[in-house]
Amino acid sequence: MTLYSATYENLAKIDLQVRTAAIEAGLSDDDAYSVELAVDEACTNIIDHSYGGEGLGEIDCVCQTLADGLKIIIYDTGCFFNPEEIQPPDVHQPLNKRPEGGLGLFFMHSLMDEVVFDPCKGNGTSLTMIKRKSLSKRG
């Protein structure tokens, strides 16, 4: 487990941690980049929405190598996030007609193989994301 202050500056450190773990888990460069993007989006949402601003909490990031990929678990102690409360974006609608924001969950689900939100004891959210190795990388 690696604990970070919930600041935008620390996103680069979190990105490096998960990218390194993804490469060590045998993910392709493209899949490692997908993991990095999904985690960056999740952590940005934690800062903006769970804590309501920078430096108001912490983010725990755990990376676990799986036989077929990588599991990332991100914990925060801010407001619980219930993904069921978010309307899926209409990605076919022109950009100028879409409401601002709301694409984070869409990107996480598009980039990762599994995305699960659970409430933490007390406050906060536990987000588990799994990225499996591409078929060409499995041995």
Q: What domains are there in the chain, each with its CATH number? A: 2-137 (3.30.565.10)
* pTM of the full structure: 0.87
| Digitized pLDDT (tens) for each residue of the chain, 139 residues in all | 789 999 999 999 999 999 999 999 999 999 999 999 999 999 999 999 899 999 999 999 999 999 999 999 999 999 888 777 766 666 666 767 666 666 788 889 999 999 999 988 778 999 999 999 986 544 4
Distance in angstroms (rounded) separating the CA atoms of residues 55 and 13: 15
Token pair for 26: 């045998």
Distance in angstroms (rounded) separating the CA atoms of residues 68 and 41: 23
